[in-house]
Amino acid sequence: MSEPFRFQLQAKDGAARLGAITMPRGTIRTPAFMPVGTAATVKTLTMDQVRGTGADIILGNTYHLMLRPGAERVARLGGLHEFARWPHPILTDSGGFQVMSLATLRKLDEKGVTFRSHIDGAKYEMSPERSIEIQGLLDSDIQMQLDECVALPAAYAEVERAMELSLRWAERCRIAFGDQPGRAMFGIVQGGAEPALRERSALVLKAMDLKGYAVGGLAVGEPQQVMLDMLEVTCPLLPAEKPRYLMGVGTPDDILKSVARGIDMFDCVMPTRAGRHGLAFTRRGRVNLRNARHADDHRPLDEESDCPAARDYSRAYLHHLIRAQESLGAMLLSWNNIAYYQNLMQGIRDAIGSGTFVSHAEKISASWAQGDIAPL
């Protein structure tokens, strides 16, 4: 991988940014939404379907893949791209969030985290160096530092302790990652809902001169305004010439408002999780296909969509599939939802490029009111 990792900022509209990340396996148009492929699969979809929606990059999960099938096995099988038939860029998270939220009997200290698998109780150790090693075995293109994410609300002292530990781990991850021209390691800004801690975290990470920066520890149950306030503190402190990634976000409304504050990359399980539960995202708002009102509705979800799931199947049929618990229903709605998110991002990119982002965002928000349920 001799071609370097590059981020080009192409246009701005207020704080909203249009850009492109170029790396050996492809170009990522930003702002970008990354479908979540937790266990080397975007649930219910083939990789061809995911690519067909317009996705440039997907996310894989270090914690789940290290447990099953195992990072060393994935490496023997050619790496995550070959294993999953996705030859395009992949970002892997560090596994830290899942260790904190899923693993049992975990013990955290300066060295790292010792925990037992939520699958079979087997004992594992995850240090910053081991996290980077696993991500390297998976052969991901963008790797994340190991960090500690505390649940909010939390006491100031606890948030500060976790943030400082995450900074020390970031430096160890930076050293372990070394110089890999075709790949990148991102640092993660922590600090909970405390502006002073967010500021310190951002400035220390900036001094490490990493290839990209993420904002973590948000969208974990706090009010949206808290998240937006922390972005307003953090984003201006990060290097303008490097990409910014808001982890685990989110709803379409979260994305619009975060783009307006300077975020370039997003990921969330929401599109596929909602699809598996009968919920569709559309230009006119969210549609609950479990609702009996759709039982005789011959209209598609969106007659103007390029996605067959949205354009070619009636709401009545989708309602039937969901009520009958047919797996095709989950697949079609997940396909529709990933396509909706990618179309949302393309519209955002076009609007930033033409200098109409604010009016475009207002138009999108107004259109959501036509759905079954209040917009997210």
Nearest alpha carbon to residue 94 among 3, 176, 181, 8: 176
Q: Tell whether residue 97 is among the known ligand binding residues.
A: yes
Q: Tell whether residue 248 is among the known ligand binding residues.
A: no
Q: DSSP per residue over 9-77, as a string? A: EEEEETTEEEEEEEETTEEEEESEEEEEETTSS-TT--HHHHHHTT-S-EEEEHHHHHHTT-HHHHHHT
Q: Tell whether residue 26 is among the known ligand binding residues.
A: no
Residue 241 in tokens: 């010439």
Q: Tell whether residue 217 is among the known ligand binding residues.
A: yes
- β pairing state of 279-282 and 285-288: antiparallel
Residue located via tokens 């990409």 = 243
Give catalytic residues, as residue numbers.
93, 267
Residue 63 in tokens: 């914690």
Q: Tell whether residue 96 is among the known ligand binding residues.
A: yes
Residue 24 in tokens: 């050996």
* Bridge partners for 113 per DSSP: 108, 126
Nearest alpha carbon to residue 46 among 265, 332, 355, 376: 332
Binding residues: 93-97, 147, 190, 217
Binding residues for substrate: 93-97, 147, 190, 217
